[in-house]
Amino acid sequence: MTTTELYARALSLIPGGVNSPVRAMKAVGLETPIFAARGEGAYLEDVAGRRYLDWVLSWGPLIFGHADPETVDAVVEAARRGTTFGTATEAEVELAAEIVDAVPSVEMVRLVSSGTEAAMTALRLARAATGREPFVRFRGGYHGHADPFLSEAGSGVRTLGIEAGGEGRVVDYNDLEAVERAIEGAACVFVEPVAGNMGVVPPADGFLEGLRRLCDESGALLVFDEVITGFRVARGGAQERYGVLPDLTVLGKIVGGGLPLAAFGGSAELMERLAPAGDVYQAGTLSGNPLATAAGLSVLRRLTPEVYDELEAKGRRLDALGQFGRFERVGAMATLFVDDYPALFRHLLERGIYLAPSQNEAMFLSTVHGDEEIDRTIEAVADFFS
Ligand code: PMP
């Protein structure tokens, strides 16, 4: 089947032909999404045999690139012992220990299967712990697709211009005064500590500290959604990098090593409100899935300080993109903001370089992006502007 035929078939069977709206290419003026066939390192190959240098890397999980041999071995080995048990396992305890070791504010963690699930439950827990219903969040932030988070959200909601219902008092990112006006009586402030779903926007100096202070003064919990930033901007995420500790942390992407796994955690006191220790209900048939915990463990155990030094060095090389537009980067996440992003996207794709098909998303640097890949990307962008 050609890509066109495949897409036509997909359109007749799957709404919009894709299982997540961000995969559609309409926003960048292209008809068909990429139908991936395989990946290796920094490269993705589609069903037509076209090869792309991949800056999306499944939207962030693949810090060691596609089909990383150690991750694949760990998953295959786990699969031979059984793909799901629906019981407790040793690997999930080990993965919890890795997370608790890495993430400064997390003493206890629960594993779930998607960032959406983790964020949704973190909100439920914050509401139960404070006995309050309202919460504060930020315009252009994204915390998965649970109802309370959808209005004025980032990522695909913003790319498609969808106006959805939602809850929460929505204020501008980096606007502490607005938070101060909105926070009274709120259960929590829900924030991406480095915004990554309206393109990368770093926190202004003092913003995260200010959120911490306002939460402490008002009795609201501070929730960091570190689905993107966790294990990416530092091993311990943005809370390590900026030295501001939230009450609850939401994790996804890298923590699952490229398999469906996410997590949320916090102090033992808060987390023990969850059933069966406490009265806040949350559950999952595939939670702590053995393939996913094997992948997560394989990745997390290799995230040494050297990995972050390497990513930072690569990031500095990539900073040369700043000559072409506003370039925002925090560690291994970055966005180049340009006026005609769709045209740049198509220019690069024609040259075999795949950026996210929306400026609302980040470029994800990984250990598999070498100098050659970085320089080729810079040259191709320079060519677009020449
Ligand atoms: N929070 C953030 C910050 C995200 O970037 C995402 C997904 N990109 C989510 C939550 C939702 O995660 P998932 O897609 O796994 O449901």
Distance in Å, CA 7 to ligand 1 centroid: 25
Q: Indicate which atom in ligand 1 lies nearest the CA of residue 252.
A: 15
Residues with CB under 6 A from ligand 1: 59, 114-116, 119, 142-144, 155, 192, 196-197, 225, 227-228, 252, 262
- pLDDT tens digits, one per residue of 72-113: 999 999 999 999 999 999 999 999 999 999 999 999 999 999
Which of 288, 286, 278, 228 lies closest to 253, judged by CA? 228
User: 198 Cβ partners below 8 Å, 6+ apart?
Assistant: 139, 140, 141, 154, 158, 173, 360
Do residues 1 and 9 touch, judged by C-beta distance below 8 A? yes
Strand runs labelled E in the chain: 36-40, 43-46, 51-54, 108-112, 135-138, 169-171, 188-191, 221-225, 248-251, 262-266, 326-330, 333-337, 353-354, 363-364
Do residues 45 and 38 touch, judged by C-beta distance below 8 A? yes
Pairing mode of beta strands 221-225, 248-251: parallel
CA angle 109, 112, 115 (to 5 degrees): 100
Which of 226, 291, 298 lies closest to 261, judged by CA? 291
Best residue for ligand 1 mutational test, from 22, 56, 112, 116 (most atoms within 8 Å of Cβ): 116
- pLDDT tens digits, one per residue of 252-309: 999 999 999 999 999 999 999 999 999 999 999 999 999 999 999 999 999 999 999 9
Q: Where in the chain is the domain with CATH 3.90.1150.10?
A: 3-63+304-385
Q: Is 314 among the catalytic positions?
A: no
Best residue for ligand 1 mutational test, from 123, 143, 145, 149 (most atoms within 8 Å of Cβ): 143
**Residues 384, 386: Cα–Cα separation, whole Å:** 6
CATH number of 70-300: 3.40.640.10
User: How far are the Cα atoms of 49, 164, 196, 242 from residue 139, in angstroms, in the given order?
Assistant: 39, 13, 12, 22
Active-site position among 7, 43, 52, 142: 142
Which of 271, 281, 292, 237 lies closest to 114, judged by CA? 292
Q: Where in the chain is the domain with CATH 3.40.640.10?
A: 70-300
Do residues 314 and 375 touch, judged by C-beta distance below 8 A? no
- Is 90 exceeded by the pLDDT of residue 358? yes
Do residues 202 and 170 touch, judged by C-beta distance below 8 A? no
Residue nearest to atom 1 of ligand 1 (CA): 143
Q: Is 52 among the catalytic positions?
A: no
Q: CA gyration radius for the chain?
A: 20
Burial class (CB in 10 A: 0-12, 13-18, 19+), 36: middle
**Residues 234, 333: Cα–Cα separation, whole Å:** 11
Active-site position among 7, 43, 253, 354: 253
- pLDDT tens digits, one per residue of 324-350: 999 999 999 999 999 999 999 999 999
- pLDDT tens digits, one per residue of 162-211: 999 999 999 999 999 999 999 999 999 999 999 999 999 999 999 999 99
Q: Which pTM was predicted? A: 0.98
- Is 90 exceeded by the pLDDT of residue 378? yes
**Residues 212, 214: Cα–Cα separation, whole Å:** 6
**If DSSP codes are grouped into helix, strand and coil, which group holds residue 196?**
coil
Q: Indicate which atom in ligand 1 lies nearest the CA of residue 226.
A: 3
CATH number of 3-63+304-385: 3.90.1150.10
Do residues 268 and 244 touch, judged by C-beta distance below 8 A? no
The full 3-state SS of 210-243, as one line of letters, equals: HHHHHHHHHCCEEEEECCCCECCCECCHHHHHHC
Q: What tokens appear for 33 in the block?
A: 């999404």
**Per-residue model confidence (pLDDT) at position 63:** 98
Average pLDDT of the segment spanning 52-70: 98
Q: Is 253 among the catalytic positions?
A: yes
Confidence of residue 1 (pLDDT cuts 50, 70, 90): confident
